[in-house]
Structure 1
Amino acid sequence: MEAGKDRDAAGRGRVNAMLGTRRPIAVVDDNSDDQFFLRRELNFLFGEMPVIAFPNGAALLHYLQDHFDEERPWLILLDLHMAGMDGFRTLEFLHGRKGMNDIPVVVVSGTLDRREVQAAFGYGAKAFLPKPISRWDFIKILNGNFKPHQATRR
């Protein structure tokens, strides 16, 4: 049990060390339980880092278009299967838009279909986290791939 606590603390320390921004993280998922879990894990890792939740891709894109020069997220956590605009169409839109295509996207999905995962990477996803998410996998993905400065203001 102590080893797990030490591992979590070390991972949290590395993630916190890379933060130089208070820009938000976007969570895009139509499942309120998954939104709650992701928000809780982000608060555990980052403290009071602002997290904005959206029920689908259309809501995220509307926010990005309205706040493009303001509070753009430095990271997007995106489910693939949602009502309305799904994760694939959201990735396709982001990937094709200058200024939006530099926001790193981590796909967080329960899909087991390798073709879907590969399609997500083809549309620009930077990482994939299978649901249910473990805290340790979450920390490893964030430590290994993303820094807030990757998504700069334009």
Structure 2
Amino acid sequence: MNGHEHSIFLVDDDEDDCLLIRDAFLEIHTGTKLVLFATGQDLIDHLTTLSEDELPSLILLDLNMPMMNGYEVLQTLRANELLQCIPVLILSGGSYKNAIKECYRLGANAFMSKPSSFAELIGILAETHAYWLKTVRIPSTVGTAPDLR
């Protein structure tokens, strides 16, 4: 990746979903740091403070959030040269054809529906972790703290 231990940033305004995802990652013992954000704006604000080595390996993004929705977050990330190579996976409660198409059009790397059981969630996150953080390689980002404003 870019020379740091793996971290995943989860952006979801649903506290229960965040806790379930956190518990699922603990269950699969990835050793990956999971950082939670309740809003897209919180994520953007935090990213502007990070050095290259502190950028996440992966972003899991919900679509339906107040203030700045997932589409807007995705557009902001993809418009920034320093952040556009970070894989962004949509993890949404719905799987509507138009939403899926729009996410890919805006540059999402994957679209996943939130599963209905904890066991399914563990399976999806284990596969996600193995693929995105162990199997594939992404270009390193260059520079210092990104300017998203």
Judge which range, 83-92 or 133-142, deviates more. 133-142
Q: Secondary structure at the match of 1:40?
A: helix
Distance 1:105 1:33, change over 3 A: same
Judge which range, 39-48 or 86-95, deviates more. 39-48
The aligned amino acid for 2:66 is A
Is the CA contact (8 Å cut-off) linking 1:102 and 1:150 kept in structure 2?
yes
Is the CA contact (8 Å cut-off) linking 2:25 and 2:125 kept in structure 1?
no
Aligned-pair Cα RMSD in Å: 2.2
Q: Secondary structure at the match of 2:46?
A: helix
Q: Give the equivalent residue in structure 1 for 2:69.
A: 86
Q: Secondary structure at the match of 2:74?
A: helix
Deviations 1:55-109 (A, max 9, x none): 1111101111111434111000000000111100000111111010100011000
Deviation at 1:112, TM superposition (A): 2.9
Q: Give the equivalent residue in structure 2 for 1:152.
A: 140
Q: Give the equivalent residue in structure 1 for 2:124.
A: 137
Distance 1:128 1:142, change over 3 A: farther
Q: Give the equivalent residue in structure 2 for 1:121.
A: 104
Q: Give the equivalent residue in structure 2 for 1:5.
A: none
Runs of 5+ unmatched residues, structure 2: 143-149
The aligned amino acid for 1:25 is I
Is the CA contact (8 Å cut-off) linking 2:10 and 2:34 kept in structure 1?
yes
Q: Secondary structure at the match of 1:120?
A: helix
Deviations 1:102-151 (A, max 9, x none): 0001100012321011101111111111122622233334434x137526
Distance 1:147 1:48, change over 3 A: closer
Distance 1:58 1:36, change over 3 A: same
Distance in 2 between residues matched to 1:141 and 1:23, nearest whole Å: 13
Runs of 5+ unmatched residues, structure 1: 1-17
Distance in 1 between residues matched to 2:141 and 2:29, nearest whole Å: 21
Distance in 1 between residues matched to 2:88 and 2:62, nearest whole Å: 10
Distance in 1 between residues matched to 2:7 and 2:34, nearest whole Å: 5
Is the CA contact (8 Å cut-off) linking 1:75 and 1:104 kept in structure 2?
yes
Is the CA contact (8 Å cut-off) linking 1:129 and 1:138 kept in structure 2?
no
Question: Following superposition of structure 1 onto structure 2, how do residues 1-154 of structure 1 map, counting pairs within 5 Å?
Answer: 21-132=4-115, 134=120, 135-144=122-131, 146-147=132-133, 149-150=137-138, 152-154=140-142
Is the CA contact (8 Å cut-off) linking 1:25 and 1:52 kept in structure 2?
yes
State the TM-score, normalized to the length of structure 2: 0.79
